[in-house]
Amino acid sequence: MEFIYDAFVDLHVPAFASQILNTIESLQKKQNPPFSDGLFWVEIQNEWRARHNGEYLEVLPLFDLLWTRLFKMECIYTNEDCTKYSSEKMDGYFTYKAGIEHKFPGYTFDSNFICKNVSDEEIDL
């Protein structure tokens, strides 16, 4: 059952990704000055539900899954402690990979997106 749900989310990422990113962008444009600060997750979620998918998401709680997927796909920037998010690159905001590398120097992701120590040597046994 979990496999079916994961496949469902994978298929809905393209459909909902633009809505989530447009929601972030429209909220940040309302700031004074525009794009001056990041947004809290709950602000984005509430606005997205109000604008696009309120009734649909009462049945299927997709926002958290889609949000995580977009974050790991590096479509969203976050501050150092992951409390505020942005659709635009701002000072002190990072993508998922850059944030890990900034917070934990010497670590990065391999080709399978697994966090690893840069200085580790692979040994073929």
pLDDT digit string (tens) for 28-80?
Answer: 888 888 888 888 888 888 888 787 665 555 556 677 777 888 888 888 999 88
In a domain, 121, yes or no: no
CB neighbour class for 71 (10 Å; exposed up to 12, middle 13-18, buried from 19): middle
Domain of residue 63, residue span: 2-95
Q: Which amino acid is at 124?
A: D
In a domain, 21, yes or no: yes
In a domain, 65, yes or no: yes
How many domains does the chain divide into?
A: 1
In a domain, 8, yes or no: yes
pTM over 0.85: no
In a domain, 114, yes or no: no
In the structure encoding, which two tokens stand for residue 79, read together? Answer: 């501050």
